[in-house]
Amino acid sequence: MAAYHPAATLSFLLVLSLFLLARSDPAPSTPVPPSTACNDTTDPTFCRSVLPANGTGNLYTYGRFSAAKSLSNANRFLGLVNRYLARGSLSDAAVAALQDCQLLSGLNIDFLSAAGATLNTTKSTLLDPQAEDVQTLLSAILTNQQTCADGLQAAASAWSVRSGLAVPMANSTKLYSISLSLFTRAWVPRGKGRKPRPASSSTKPPRQRGRGLFDATDDEMVRRMALEGAAAAVSVAGAVTVDQSGAGNYTTVGDAVAAAPSNLGASSGYFVIHVAAGVYEENVVVPKNKKYVMMVGDGIGQTVITGNRSVVDGWTTFNSATFAVLGQGFVAVNMTFRNTAGPAKHQAVALRSGADLSTFYQCSFEGYQDTLYTHSLRQFYRACDVYGTVDYVFGNAAVVFQDCTLYNRLPMAGQSNTVTAQGRSDPNQNTGTTIQGCSIVAAPELAANTAFATATYLGRPWKMYSRTVIMQSDVAGLVDPAGWMPWSGDFALSTLYYAEYDNSGAGSDTSRRVNWPGYHVLNSTVDAGNFTVANMVLGDFWLPQTGVPFTIGLN
């Protein structure tokens, strides 16, 4: 029998935890010595070495001090990475890993600057969406640092760089964790948790493929999105067309992205790129300054962006993506993103998103290992298809999948399929993967294969605090009765949070699931509600402007 706490026990533990927290944690405005402020952080000893030893402040002043120190550290770390890159005698693998670190460190400077600006303007608890915004940024900073470390670790020829960066990288990670910990204690309301909203505030239309959301032949309709029969206006700042025949404004997707205005605000409207039907063989990056880009194809399998980068061929996992997006507010509709490297090339990403408030509607993502990299920040996927084998939905975003189909393909001999590999590495990160109202099935080639049995699992813990919830979904019988697969020995089995709620299908029976301390079968709508669009990604604040349908609470 799977191990879980009954609802009454959970309620008692929650009340007890809040009571103990109230006794041990001072009010944010109460003056306390640094040693007291550090007591409940992730690393009290390191925290005491960071905060000023003399004088007395409160959690607000300590939090601002730590954030400022983190920003200074991020600048120094980027300088160190740049000095290594300037040497000119490194292996290609080391250079590739360092270039990822360079990009990620630059993002960390941006995120810490934005977080610090918010913290410096308030001396009281933040309310949502501000509290969630800052916690999201500080969570992503840790993810970026971890990605940098993972890339260097994977590059065997980068051993000299790894050794030189090991201590600065470890200290950076601890410092960023302290900043996140102090922030959550000082600025996030105690007992924070939004009650789940009913699903009636959204639409849940039947899924229809092959029908474009934009009518490219009508200049007025390019400014409107059709939500399965109900036209919803989308504010548009400009529109262009990509067409390989030369009939549009551009012949490549990359050129159209480059032409997008820089740093559009949410109130400015979307820059719409209509990508006409065709197979576009290019690796595309939507950089951080290309915000609020909406890319619309002519349908799944009709508009295809494809590439074949892989780790075996010398790319980092991070930079193997056929399509990578960093610009806030990105929306993709009616498109296929594909990586054709194949299972023998191991990690080969079709799409990577590190774009806050990014949305994907009626899209497909095709690959084998590591198909869809939900890297960081807040993301939403609706009515999408994901094809893969090993860890094919992975990363450390706060992400919700709704009405999607997850297709398990035929892996290499000896491999098992794992749908998810969630990468939460710190208990204060507001990240995790929710799969709601989806279907987990066998792809045609796996269903037809009778040569050998392929074990399929819902996920395995990539990092210490891995968090994944499968709820209100149809789980096919190909899923192993144990449900979940360990990463290595007993790693993270006590610290992860894996849960299932109200699923159906032949593979949804939880009576033979793993008995890990971190695994739960949820019976409470309140507990399950923590992982809805409303609570996981605060979607009611930003999804309406995308025009994409969503269910705010439980189905």
CB atoms within 10 A of CB 279: 13
Burial class for 119, CB neighbours closer than 10 Å (0-12, 13-18, 19+): buried
Burial class for 176, CB neighbours closer than 10 Å (0-12, 13-18, 19+): buried
How far is Cα 552 from Cα 555, in angstroms, rounded to an integer?
9
Residue with tokens 């820059």: 271
- Please choose, from the candidates 520, 437, 507, the residue with its C-alpha nearest in 3D space to the C-alpha of residue 478: 507
Q: 3-state class of 407 per DSSP?
A: strand
Residue with tokens 């990508």: 275
How far is Cα 172 from Cα 129, in angstroms, rounded to an integer?
27
How far is Cα 360 from Cα 333, in angstroms, rounded to an integer?
6
Return the amino acid letter for 526.
V
Contact, 533 vs 199, CB < 8 A?
A: no
For residue 391, indicate whether it is catalytic.
Answer: yes
How far is Cα 219 from Cα 226, in angstroms, rounded to an integer?
14
Looking at 133, 391, 403, 480, which residue is catalytic?
391
Contact, 464 vs 215, CB < 8 A?
A: no
Length of the chain: 555
- The DSSP symbol for 553 reads S
How far is Cα 333 from Cα 311, in angstroms, rounded to an integer?
28
Tell me phi and psi for residue 90, to 5 degrees. Answer: -90, 160
Contact, 394 vs 317, CB < 8 A?
A: no
Half-sphere exposure of 448 (CA within 13 A, CB side): 3
- The DSSP symbol for 26 reads P
DSSP labels for 458-521? EE--SSTT-EEEEES-EE-TTB-TT----SSTTTTTTT-EEEEES-BSTT---TT----TTEEE
List the catalytic residues. 391
